[in-house]
Amino acid sequence: MNPSRPMSRRSALRLLSGAGASLLLAACGSSSSSTSASTSPPASGGQTASGGVLRIAEISNPRTFNPLRQNNFWSWGAIYDSLLRYNPAGELVPHLAESYTISEDGTKVSIKLRSGVKFHSGREFSSEDVAWVFEKLKEPSTGALFRTFALAVVDIETPDATTINLTFEKPEAGILDLLGNFYIPDKEIYDDLDRKGGGTGPFEFVEFIPDEKVVLKRNENYWGAKAALDRIEVQIFGDRQAATANLESGTIDIVPLTLQDYVRLSEGNAYQTPKIIGASMFNIWLNTTYEPFSDKRVRQAMAFALDRERFNSTILLGQSQATCNPLPSHHWGFIPDLDTTYAFNLDKAKALLEEAGYPNGFEVSVNVSSQSREGMGMVQILQSDLEKIGVKLTIDAKDEPRWAEAADRGEFQINMHAYGRTSADPSLLFKGTTAWRPDANPTGFADPAYLEHINAQAEVIDREQRKPLLKKLIEYVQDQSFVIPIAGSVTAYGVANKVKGLELLPVGIVAYMEIVSLS
């Protein structure tokens, strides 16, 4: 590569996907005893900055810059590096980790870290920082999504500055997801991470002014290929349409779009309009402690009464995919055979209600966030369909915090919801998200068989061996129908044509900021 020219998007993606392929080959070829992957680092100085300021619109303030927290913020990938990271194909490739090895029994992971990596403060990055992150993940007050997995680590060894060995109590397939989302902040500023960021990533945090902006600048001492952009400025809007008007007036380069604006802007060639389906999944929860829903047949009747296609065609403007699967269609664990298990059928729903002893239906209410346009739309469709089978649905709309509190406390009969982590390892989805967790589930659903199904697939590292077990798990949750998937969410962006190299991750956030440039 000519060092004087910016790395093209294609080259950069080739680099990332090449690394992905190496991992895939390693994983597929693991008839030997262990799974391992490695890649060589991007050539230092292989990319010369082309400069410029990228202006991104956000609709709300980042709630934190702490990458260990659950709440997401796209800038994590810019400010922080993770041990592994997803390439555009959705495969995990080494990043801060130069290579890693998983033992044959799946209980030990040895990670070799890159040397010469420095935090933005100038401090040297080492295995001690990784060990420290594991400890923080375990603390309840951190509120880490991956705490479930971190707690499964029973021993951490740091034999030298670039090696870290993890020991698990039992095999845990979700470990790769943990490493792929394992962003490492600078522990010396940990207490300030709610309002500023600091890691080893390609961009350094400059300032955050609430309701105004977040500014990042290029990390000139980055261990890999330096970012093309000089700065990233995130302007914080309170209104999506106003943000879109800013894209159209040329004052903003990247904007998260409403579906209406997505449809409008994607018609011409004036803008790039990337979108991701299924970063989160619309679904309803049925409270199994509420009498009609304690009967599985009534829950299944509700699953048949959900007109997913109508929801997609009217509320989501036909931009998503109706599904009965808990995982989106781009996920490796997606089971096509199970996608239409509960295709809309009011006759079947009525028959199930009669069988369960509710021939004349019943009255029920749905807890929904008034701030969710899609949620409000879906419950209105459900209300009109349920009326046809004698079920009177009352819509109980609340503002977001009140809705969330009622949902988490199980103070609902039906709850309209959208769960995230759909692109993560199924173990994380089923063990770590409120909707699906087997213990203290807000729907009141509890069955030892459910946990057994989750654990059975979670302890198998090899995906091909794991898929039949995952299918059994999904068949089980479909049969129980305490959580009923409806359709994937649509995450769409309007991007000025001058922005080059932009990629979206399956989780719906902008990624690989170091290869983004302005023409």
Among 22, 35, 246, 489, binds other proteins (CB under 8 A): 246
In the complex, what is the shortest distance from the CB of residue 399 to other proteins, in angstroms, rounded to a whole number?
7
Residue number, 188 or 192, with CB nearest to other proteins = 192
In the complex, what is the shortest distance from the CB of residue 81 to other proteins, in angstroms, rounded to a whole number?
23
Residue number, 237 or 493, with CB nearest to other proteins = 237
Among 111, 406, 510, 513, binds other proteins (CB under 8 A): 406
Who's near 24: CB < 8 A, 6+ residues apart?
91
Is position 188 an interface residue for other proteins (rule: CB under 8 A)? no
CB atoms inside a 10 Å sphere around CB 233: 16
Among 8, 34, 115, 434, binds other proteins (CB under 8 A): 434
Residue number, 221 or 251, with CB nearest to other proteins = 251
Is position 270 an interface residue for other proteins (rule: CB under 8 A)? no
**In whole angstroms, how large is the CA radius of gyration of the chain?**
24
In the complex, what is the shortest distance from the CB of residue 191 to other proteins, in angstroms, rounded to a whole number?
8
Q: Which stretch binds other proteins (CB under 8 A): 40-48, 190-198, 254-262, 460-468?
A: 190-198
Which residues is 112 bridged to in the sheet? 99, 163
Relative to beta strand 392-398, strand 363-369 is parallel
Is position 368 an interface residue for other proteins (rule: CB under 8 A)? no
Is position 251 an interface residue for other proteins (rule: CB under 8 A)? yes
Who's near 248: CB < 8 A, 6+ residues apart?
none
Site for other proteins in 65-94 (CB under 8 A): 69-71
Q: Helices (DSSP H) in 139-190: which residue ranges?
A: 147-151, 175-180
Residue number, 83 or 193, with CB nearest to other proteins = 193
Residue number, 248 or 355, with CB nearest to other proteins = 248
- Side-chain-side CA neighbours of residue 484 (13 Å): 32
In the complex, what is the shortest distance from the CB of residue 72 to other proteins, in angstroms, rounded to a whole number?
9
Residue number, 149 or 512, with CB nearest to other proteins = 149
Dihedral of CA atoms 479, 481, 487, 493 in degrees, nearest 10, equals -120
Residue number, 406 or 484, with CB nearest to other proteins = 406
Q: Tokens 């292989």 — which residue?
A: 46
Q: Tokens 């080494």 — which residue?
A: 94
- Cα separation, 381 vs 106, in Å, equals 46
Q: Which stretch binds other proteins (CB under 8 A): 55-63, 165-173, 299-307, 443-451?
A: 55-63
Q: Tokens 């902008």 — which residue?
A: 510
Answer positive or negative: Cα dihedral of 90, 277, 236, 144: negative
Residue number, 9 or 398, with CB nearest to other proteins = 398
In the complex, what is the shortest distance from the CB of residue 70 to other proteins, in angstroms, rounded to a whole number?
4
Is position 370 an interface residue for other proteins (rule: CB under 8 A)? no
- Cα separation, 203 vs 221, in Å, equals 10
- Cα separation, 415 vs 444, in Å, equals 12
Is position 238 an interface residue for other proteins (rule: CB under 8 A)? yes
Is position 378 an interface residue for other proteins (rule: CB under 8 A)? no
> Is residue 284 within 8 Å of 488, Cβ to Cβ?
no
Is position 124 an interface residue for other proteins (rule: CB under 8 A)? no
In the complex, what is the shortest distance from the CB of residue 407 to other proteins, in angstroms, rounded to a whole number?
7
Is position 408 an interface residue for other proteins (rule: CB under 8 A)? yes
Residue number, 118 or 213, with CB nearest to other proteins = 213
Assign 3-class secondary structure to 86-139: ECCCCCEEECCEEEEEECCCCCEEEEEECCCCECCCCCECCHHHHHHHHHHHHC
Relative to beta strand 108-113, strand 97-102 is antiparallel
Among 61, 103, 313, 380, binds other proteins (CB under 8 A): 61
Q: Which stretch binds other proteins (CB under 8 A): 262-270, 323-331, 395-403, 493-501?
A: 395-403
Is position 209 an interface residue for other proteins (rule: CB under 8 A)? yes
Among 104, 105, 128, 239, binds other proteins (CB under 8 A): 239
In the complex, what is the shortest distance from the CB of residue 446 to other proteins, in angstroms, rounded to a whole number?
15
What does the chain come to in residues?
519
Q: Which stretch binds other proteins (CB under 8 A): 123-131, 239-247, 256-264, 304-312?
A: 239-247
Q: Which stretch binds other proteins (CB under 8 A): 16-24, 27-35, 37-45, 428-436?
A: 428-436
Is position 207 an interface residue for other proteins (rule: CB under 8 A)? no
Per DSSP, the residues of 265-297 read HTTSSSEE--EEEEEEEEEEEE-TTSHHHHSHH
Per DSSP, the residues of 46-66 read -S-----EEEEEESS--S---
CA distances from 346 to 290, 292, 343, 358, 390 (A): 22, 17, 10, 14, 11
Q: What six digits make up the tokens of 183? A: 């962003």
Among 199, 432, 485, 488, binds other proteins (CB under 8 A): 432
Q: Applying CB under 8 A, which residues contact other proteins?
A: 60-64, 69-71, 139-143, 145, 147, 192, 194-195, 209-212, 235-239, 241-243, 245-246, 248-251, 398-402, 404-408, 420-421, 432-434, 440
